[in-house]
Structure 1
Amino acid sequence: MAVKYAIIGGTGVYDPGQVDDARTDKIHTPYGEATVTIGTYAGKHVAFMARHGEGHATPPHRINYRANIWALKEIGVEQVLATAAVGSLQLALAPGELVLVDDVIDMTKSRISTFFDAERVVHVDMSDPYCGRLRQHLKDTADHLGYHVHDGGVYVCTEGPRFETKAEIQMYSRLGGSVVGMTSIPEVTLAKEAELCYATVCMVTNYAAGLSSHPLTHQEVVDTMRDNVGKIRSLFYNFIERDTSTRTCSCKEAVGGQTPLGQEEH
């Protein structure tokens, strides 16, 4: 049975949780090794990847995003569900709430954000960075479970690993940002280039600098994620159980079949 679904766990989400018969594999890619745990849920194979590695050892600017996305594509994944711990840029998005982001602003500085940096030039369309079909199905699943999810929002991705200044937060808010984090770029871009359906469910862990009355710590982020990780897992696994795997969106043709594996799909 093909592995059609993948979960990428961010801060606080370090294991697949509810899968059966889990095994961990090392996938060799041109960009290095990627670690993937594969198990079964509701009769479907699911891959899980801890974005920051075992024990949260890899900071956001050092994650091997290209190896991770390449590995998922190589094992047959078509739909990727990602988690992200984020700070809120808006008072209406309170800590503990879920946001199904639909757009992104790239404020990173030094990350390689493409597979296509040699031999051929490919310009991927990012007008729907987080797959609209996948987001709608996740929203429908959340409604089915009785979970409140903010439908839509702009993810501002910063370089990290430091937290943002108050002046930066004010700027991001004025630019239209909803939440701020450090990992969606280049992950979402690479997923689009790999012609994967990709969606991120953000957990608001804190108000960003200037909106909060106290300095932010990483432990605060981890604690909030720990208290809410069960809800995100339930959302993802219920979606996987209910999904028909039919990809009616344009993600599967995002680069005209020119996959990052170096060959056209037929």
Structure 2
Amino acid sequence: MRKSKAEIVIIVGSDCIGTPAQRFGEVKKRTVLKTPYGKSSPFYTVEAQNRKIMVIYRHGDKKREVDAPFVNYRANIYASKELGASRIMATSAVGSIDPILRPGDIIIPNDLIDATRRRAYTFYGGKAHGFIRFNPVFCPEIRQTLIDTANKFAKRVFTKGTCVVTDGPRLETPAEIKMFKLLGADVVSQTISPEVFLARELEICYGAICNVVNYAEGTITLPRKSGIFGELLPDETLVEVENTRRLMPEILKEAAKSLPKDRDCPCKDAMDFFKKRKRIPKDWHKWISPESRKT
């Protein structure tokens, strides 16, 4: 089967489950790729404003089929590279640790605390070429493009912040959130890691745009109520959360159009140290450790 190619991949998070691929542009094809790590999530090839992009549904394209800790992150990032991606923009639903951030706000994080413990986070297990920098954590070109674009569409956009990523699928305890706040986290997610790390290993630029969908545990004090988030998602914020969810495809389409054609960022040269010393070949498929495929 001939593979569709696209330079830009958009990873859609749980905040956009059920959003049809048509919202991102004219759908050309649906693809599920077989990789050394198993099958990827479904990719949709989309034409948007004369630019071909791929939209991948992290948790399932029709409904929530898999929770964050069980997403096949390596298969998805491997497939993105195989399909020609050099840039990834990802959405992530987050909880607010800093109460200045309200449900419905957008935050484009510039730093990350990885509090996951059980995820396959590298392609290079057993190798000696995974020693790469993560400052900046996110691609500065993608971040700036997302900031500029989000400000055209949304009312409240926070242009920096630290996101802590936990394993899930459960929500965090109040004590955990208190600890993360002391460590400097502004929001909490259950995705982004290990995607951002895996992307850098394959020299793919990665940036995230986050929709605040609830307050984190212990952040606010309100009467307890039923529901997944209960009082962590006050009734008066429901409309704002939904409005932001509806804006995401428009923001991402515009951002994809606005990204410069050529990359000028450290992400594209992440593996240069090893290339120049001929410790890895030009073919990225050969960078990957056989041992990593078994775990």
Question: Which residue identity lines up with residue 51 of structure 1 in the other structure?
Answer: R
Question: 1:80, 1:198 within 8 Å by CA — same for their partners in 2?
Answer: yes
1:52 is displaced (CA, Å) by: 0.8
TM-score, with structure 2 as normaliser: 0.83
CA contact (8 A) 2:96 2:215 kept: yes
The amino acid across from 2:51 in the alignment is K
Q: Is it true that 1:231 corresponds to 2:239 in the alignment?
A: no
Q: Which residue is equivalent to 2:180?
A: 172
Q: How many residues align?
A: 263
Post-superposition Cα deviations, 1:79-126, rounded to whole Å, max 9, x if no partner, equal 111000000000111110000001110111111100001344321211
Verify: 1:8 aligned to 2:24, yes or no.
no
Match of 1:199 among 196, 207, 214: 207
Aligned-CA RMSD value: 2.2
Which residue of structure 1 lines up, in the alignment, with residue 45 of structure 2?
Answer: 38
Residues 122-175 of structure 1, C-alpha deviations (whole Å, 9 max, x = no match):
212111111112101221223344653101111100110000111111110110
Structure 2 gap ranges (5+) = 289-295
* Cα-to-partner distance string for 1:203-234 (whole Å, 9 max, x where unaligned): 0011111113246854677x675442221211
Q: Which of 98, 101, 119 in structure 1 is aligned with 2:109?
A: 101
Query: 1:217–1:107: structure 2 CA closer, same or farther, 3 Å change rule?
Result: farther
| 1:26 matches 2:32 | yes
Q: Identity of aligned pairs, percent?
A: 31
Higher strand share: 1
Equivalence map 1:1-266=2 (5 Å): 2-14=5-17, 15-16=20-21, 17-34=23-40, 35-54=42-61, 55-145=63-153, 147-212=155-220, 213=222, 214=224, 217-218=227-228, 226-256=242-272, 261-263=285-287
Runs of 4+ deviating beyond 6 Å? none
For structure 1, which runs of at least 5 residues remain unmatched after alignment?
none
8 Å contact from structure 1 (residues 169, 210) kept in 2: yes
Distance 1:261 1:173, change over 3 A: same
SS in 1 for 2:93: strand
Q: Distance in 2 between matches of 1:225 and 1:261?
A: 40
C-alpha distance in structure 1 between counterparts of 2:166 and 2:185, whole Å: 12
TM-score in terms of structure 1 length = 0.91
